[in-house]
Amino acid sequence: MAEFDPEKFEDKYANYFPELQQAYKNAFNRMNDRYDSTLVHAIDQQVLNESEPFYEHEDGFRVELPADPYERLTGVAVSEGEFETVLEAHVAEIETELERVFGLQ
Q: What integer best gives the mean pLDDT of the chain?
A: 94
Give the pLDDT of residue 3.
79
Q: Band the pLDDT of 94: cuts 50, 70, 90.
A: very high
List for the chain the helix, strand, coil content (%; round to 5). 60, 10, 30
- Work out the percent of the chain whose per-residue pLDDT is above 90: 90
Consecutive H or E run containing 13: helix 12-15
* pLDDT reported for residue 2: 58
Name the region of 46 (left: φ>0; alpha: ψ -120 to 50; beta: rest).
Answer: alpha
Yes or no: say if 27 and 93 are a contact pair by the CB < 8 Å rule: yes
| Per-residue model confidence as pLDDT tens digits over 27-66 | 999 999 999 999 999 999 999 999 999 999 889 999 999 9
Q: What is the DSSP letter of 9?
A: G
One-letter amino acid for residue 92 of the chain: A
State how far the Cα of 101 lies from the Cα of 5, in Å rounded to an integer.
13
Q: What is the pLDDT of residue 58?
A: 87
Q: Per-residue pLDDT for 13 more than 70?
A: yes
Q: What's the CA gap between 27 and 93, in Å, rounded?
A: 5
